[in-house]
Amino acid sequence: MEQKLGFDTLLLHAGYKSEERTKSRAVPLYMTTAYSFDSVEHARSLFALEQGGNIYTRLQNPTSDVLEQRISALEGGIGALATSSGHAAELMTILCLASSGDEIVSSSSIYGGTINLFGKTLKKMGITTKFVNSDDPDEYDRATNEKTKAYFVEVVGNPNANVSDIAAISKIAKKHGIPLIVDNTMTTPFLIKPIEYGADIVIHSTTKYLSGNGTVMGGVAVDSGKFQWRGNPRFPEFNEPDPSYHGIVYADIPEAAFITKLRTHILRDVGACQSPFNSWVTLLGMETLSLRMERHCENADKVASFLEKNPRIKKVNYPRLPSSPYYELTSRQLKRGAGSTFTFEIDGTRENGAKFIDSLKLVSHVANLGDSRTLVSNPAATTHSQLSDDQLKAAGISPTTIRLSVGLETAEDIISDIEQALKAAF
């Protein structure tokens, strides 16, 4: 019986063994667009999916393959696809499941760019998104009809750190035969493996905590291999021959139907593959994921506690605080921590909030999260600025909402910088 490896061992070893030819211990960086075929017959069999192998880096690359296998192993999936960004992973996943005339149901408390992608860009493609309050899983049930092709939720919402009950939403999804897509960017598989709670597909922006250093873009979609595609009336494209790829019937690949269609059909046509260099840098960053997430969460606990006690702060949206409405769910679903990105409300005006951000010296004002450095932004003016007033209200965002991504610096230094900026703001 093969030994089941621990999380930290998988971080360092999953998906790669020293090469037979070079004996390289570290994962090599394969910067190539194409690969040599042994013969015309070899090329034909690769394109016909009769055997595995490399064809063209838009479809697969040895370095990206290690990244895919590693993240899949960490999440408990059966396969993964690396993409050019988290947005690309989201878009291609939806295109793999839905066509013009179809619908998806999504939480409204998610990243603003995703709300725009779902609400505006997908709408242009004829795919309608119904946004619901994920605090009430039954809203997914009420929003479902015969056209619904997917549910979408973030484990911890960006930016307000609202926590969704993945198991409860999964139960409703399974009742209707609908795949549940869960974005695990804010928490990573170190804190939660959504597949264990019933997720069918897991999405990441690898740009964030997985790479951890704010240097390279990337995304990934992970297939649980557990969704029932065979005979599912919602998904005729999975059960009928695909004329665009040799008449393949994806449901005939029972444990890898989704990830096979995503790569051979959607990635082939959309082309949003991850750069091998970006995959390589992300693999380097992932080697320290456990250590980093422990420090991220430890620092976030300290910073959130400080903010909650500060008289200049009206509200702190951090789910590990006993005052949070998500405290009980977080204690049950996110026992190791809830990540380090959350929001707080300045007890003042928009001008006070702007002065606070402009007065920070150690904390960086950027449109990113999950970096090793502490980052801050004003969502209403940046990441969620494209939303309407009603959408901002639904997402719980006001002009004085400050998003904080707590980094790996000494916690006391982060707190000291925030404290001096608050004094300067007033």
The confidence score (pLDDT) of residue 385 equals: 66
Asked if residue 370 is part of any domain, the answer here is yes
408 and 261 in one domain? no
| Domain stops at, among 221, 256, 285 | 285
Asked if residue 8 is part of any domain, the answer here is no
240 and 314 in one domain? no
The confidence score (pLDDT) of residue 1 equals: 41
The confidence score (pLDDT) of residue 49 equals: 83
341 and 270 in one domain? no
Asked if residue 27 is part of any domain, the answer here is yes
347 and 199 in one domain? no
329 and 342 in one domain? yes
- Across the chain, which has 426 residues, the per-10-residue mean pLDDT values are 81 90 91 95 89 91 97 98 98 98 96 93 98 97 98 95 97 98 98 98 98 96 97 97 90 94 96 98 98 98 97 95 97 97 91 91 95 90 67 72 96 98 94
- Residues 233/213, Cβ–Cβ less than 8 Å: no
The confidence score (pLDDT) of residue 250 equals: 96
- Residues 288/212, Cβ–Cβ less than 8 Å: yes
- Domain CATH for 167: 3.40.640.10
Tokens of 28: 């090599």
260 and 159 in one domain? yes
- Written as one string, the DSSP assignment of 135-177 is TSTHHHHHH--TTEEEEEEESB-TTT--B--HHHHHHHHHHHT
Cα-based angle 70, 76, 79 (whole degrees, multiple of 5): 60
Global confidence as pTM: 0.94
The confidence score (pLDDT) of residue 350 equals: 82
Number of domains in the chain: 2
247 and 154 in one domain? yes
316 and 369 in one domain? yes
Angle between helices 276-286 and 62-75 in degrees, nearest 10: 40
The runs of H, that is alpha helices, within 76-124 are 86-97, 112-116, 122-124
Asked if residue 414 is part of any domain, the answer here is yes
261 and 304 in one domain? no
> What is the domain extent for residue 317?
290-425
- Residues 21/62, Cβ–Cβ less than 8 Å: no
- Domain CATH for 406: 3.90.1150.10
| Domain stops at, among 285, 310, 335 | 285
280 and 245 in one domain? yes
187 and 247 in one domain? yes
272 and 173 in one domain? yes
Asked if residue 3 is part of any domain, the answer here is no
Asked if residue 143 is part of any domain, the answer here is yes
Cα-based angle 396, 399, 400 (whole degrees, multiple of 5): 90
